[in-house]
Each structure stands twice: as C-alpha cells, then as structure tokens.
Amino acid sequence: MKVFKFGGASVKDADSVRNMSKIIQAYQTDKLIVVVSAMGKITNALEELLSLTMEEREVTTPLEAIKDFHQTIINDLGISSDEVLKKDIAEVFEQLENGLNEFSSSMGYDYMYDQTVSLGEILSTKIIASYLNNQGIAASWLDARKVVKTDSLHRQAIVDWGASQAMIKSQIKRSIEEGIVITQGFIGSNSDFKSTTLGREGSDFSAAIFATSVNAESVTIWKDVPGVLNADPKKFANTVLYEKLPYKEAAEMTYYGASVIHPKTIKPLAQKGIPLYVRSFQSPEDSGTTIEESIVPNLAPAIIHKDGQTVISFKISDFSFINEHHIHLIFEHIKRLNLTINLMQNSAISFTVCMDDDPKKREQLRTALMDEFLIYYNEGLEMITIKNYNQDSINELMKDKQIIIEQRSRNNFQMVYKV
C-alpha cells in the first residue's frame, strides 16, 4: 500500500484536480490511500470567517465566496449533477452556518476553530472522491475524524497513536477493497467525537499517521516544488535539489524552519523505515527527493530562512554574573508562556534568546522578569541557519547584513540580522 498526500496548492481549482486525478490514475493498480488538504487557501478563508463571527461582524459575503469557490470547481469538473455530492456539500455548509450562528465565547476559540476550519478538508475530499468516481477511478471516502483519535488540545491536538493505528488499520482493510481511499489531512476527533486539528500544515503528518498504521510501502508528498531544495527558491537564487536525504537531515531541516515538510512527519516514518518521497505535481515524471535511512556524502549546505524574529537580552545590573539560577528563572517563564527558542547565547552579565516574535507574549515575559533583569529587545529581525555550512556559503550570506548575533557549531551556522 502507498500513501499520497496532496496539499491545498495541488487542488486549488478544477485544472489542478484534473492533474491530481491523472497522477492517481497512473498508480491505480497500487493500493492507495490519498490524504488531501482543503482546496487552495480555504483554511485561511475559514479562519477569517471565524474571526469575523467572533467580532460579531457580517459574514454573508465571505461565506458566499467560500460556497462559490467550491461550486465553481464542482461545475468546472462537470460533477454538478452528482446528487449525493450536492446533498453532502449542502450539509457541510449547513453545519458550518449553524456552528457560526451558535458561536458563543464560552465555547472557547480553539474548540470553535476546530469545528469550523476542519470542514475545509471535508469539502475538498467530497468533491475529489466524486470526481475520481466520475472518471471511472473507484474511490471510497473515509472520514479521518472517525479514525484519527486525539486528545482535546484543540488546534494542536496530540495523536493517540494506539487508538488511531488500530482504527485506521481495520477501517482501511475494508475500504481499500472498494478502490482508492480518499481521506482528509489535518483533522481528527477527541473521545467525545468532536473535531480536532493537528496544527497548520498538518496534513503531511496525517499522511505519516496513515502510513505507519498500515505499514505502507512509501509516502509521497506532491508539492509545487521539484522536491526538497537546499533553500527556498522564492528567497534564494541557484537552489540545488537533494535527490536523497537521510531522515535525520530532513528532520533537522524542518526543526530549523524549512517549511517543505511538516516537522512532525519524519519521526514516525523513520521509526518504521517507510521512505518519504517529495515530488512535483507539476512534473510528476521527475523523481524528486527520496528521504530514507541513508548516508549521503557531501550534502549541499541547506539554507533555512526564518523571518519575524525577536532577540531578547536579560542583563544583570548589580555586578554579579549570569548563573544557573538566572537561566533557570528565564526558562521557567519561557516554558510557562509556551515560547520556543530558536537560538541562545550567554555572556558574563547577560543571557540572550532569539524567538519567533509574539509581541503579546514578549510583553508577558518582560513583565514577569523585569524585577530581576534589565531587559532589551530588537524586533522585526530575520534568522538564517546554514546546515552543513562551508566558509563560502557563510561569506556569501553575511554580505551586506547587519548581524545582531552569530553562532556556529560543527555542522550548523546561525545568524540573526536586521532587515
């Protein structure tokens, strides 16, 4: 069995769905589980809808835009006469509208978010399953909320691996007999059968959950890039495609902020030795990148860029030195506020961290520690990490930059600079 994952960009209009269907057709003889995201930018549109509802503002226009977007795709695909699809889509929108009408702040934003935003994936997979069947590709629709079980940490739900794997395994065994299985990424449900989501861009992780449950032969993520590149082509010229990457390298790249694969995807696949292919849906004949257990000598330096960074320094003003007590105190509050450090450095009298900028939490951190330290910060910064650096790559990237912090270890070089 193989698992394919198609993200929003690969199903953003009727032409993309036709292209996806062609790719699937080429693998029709394989047993396939196809994990799909919401179409195009629908997750953002649903987030916006919920924000407007919370602010008690009018939602008719954006809601109609979401309906029209899906209806146009249905019409363009020539499946508007599918009565079952028509009924299913109408039901999803009814559920969406009822949910928004009943919204009250006592329900909690994160809970409502999951009930609202998860519907994007339901819409996309209903349409795609209908289209594939219309094309003569037998496809059965599976509700991921029935089989991906999680806790109730809405928007960042933690997967119950034991329950999910058992349910996926037994459900897929039945569904796969009917043909290709079309299911949703990103979503699951808690023990009360309420929808949960796994974090933005979480569909890659869903693909890994399905793959490990059925001991799949491989996972393929179909993307709008040729594979895993050594840098973001939108930001850097002359990028290099990795034909092969060890799991460890790929996982570390996601840790430093490479957005090509969701950070939680690699670990479960590596534990089961399931290879991950990252390939282009625009040129499906190319083999892209293979991520698996391997030794790849002389990997090109990977350049990972992160914007929206802030550097905060905690200084001691009484002529004593930074010690474990101070660092412990700083970390206690960083942990309490659920902040993540991207880089840290200490000197005799100060401790400095670089983090994703969150002005609200930064202020909370400052308030909590202002009696102990003099606190300084810079915001609006960017960070570059070079994995497997060489001096040329550092020189090239440091050119013309006003560096705030730089740091290097045996394999990694990091710098934070002013934009």
Please give the residues from 64 up to 123 whose contact with ligand ASP meets the rule CB under 6 A.
Answer: 120
Tokens read off for 359 = 């002005």
Q: Does 202 bind ligand ASP (CB under 6 A)?
A: yes
Q: Does 40 bind ligand ASP (CB under 6 A)?
A: no
> Total binding residues for ligand ASP by CB under 6 A?
12
Tokens read off for 68 = 């029209």
Nearer to ligand ASP, 35 or 334 (CB): 35
Using the contact rule CB under 6 A, the part of the chain among 37-45, 173-181, 291-299, 396-404 near ligand ASP is 37-45
* Phi and psi based region of residue 51 (left: phi greater than 0; alpha: psi -120 to 50; beta: remaining): alpha
Q: Pick from 200, 333, 361, 366 the residue near ligand ASP by CB under 6 A.
A: 200
Q: Pick from 38, 49, 112, 253 the residue near ligand ASP by CB under 6 A.
A: 38
Nearer to ligand ASP, 268 or 301 (CB): 268
Torsions phi, psi for 181 (to 5 deg):
-100, 125
Amino acid at 374: L
Q: Pick from 40, 168, 175, 185 the residue near ligand ASP by CB under 6 A.
A: 185
Using the contact rule CB under 6 A, the part of the chain among 22-30, 35-43, 92-100, 392-400 near ligand ASP is 35-43
Taking CA atoms, 9 is separated from 12, 103, 132, 328, in Å, by 5, 30, 18, 44
**Minimum distance of ligand ASP from residue 184's CB (angstroms):** 9
Binding track, positions 43-72, relative to ligand ASP; x by CB under 6 A: x-----------------------------
The radius of gyration computed from the CA coordinates of the chain, to the nearest angstrom, equals 23
Pairwise CA distance, residues 193 & 178, whole Å? 26
Pairwise CA distance, residues 82 & 76, whole Å? 13
258 close to 266: Cβ distance less than 8 angstroms = no
Q: Please give the helix or strand (H or E) that residue 130 lies within, else none.
A: helix 119-134
**Minimum distance of ligand ASP from residue 204's CB (angstroms):** 6
- Intra-chain end-to-end CA distance of the chain, in Å: 47
Q: Pick from 82, 201, 249, 252 the residue near ligand ASP by CB under 6 A.
A: 201
Please give the residues from 243 up to 272 whose contact with ligand ASP meets the rule CB under 6 A.
Answer: none
Tokens read off for 384 = 């570059």
Pairwise CA distance, residues 387 & 389, whole Å? 5
Residues lying near ligand ASP in the complex (CB under 6 A) are found at: 7-8, 37-38, 43, 120, 185-186, 200-203
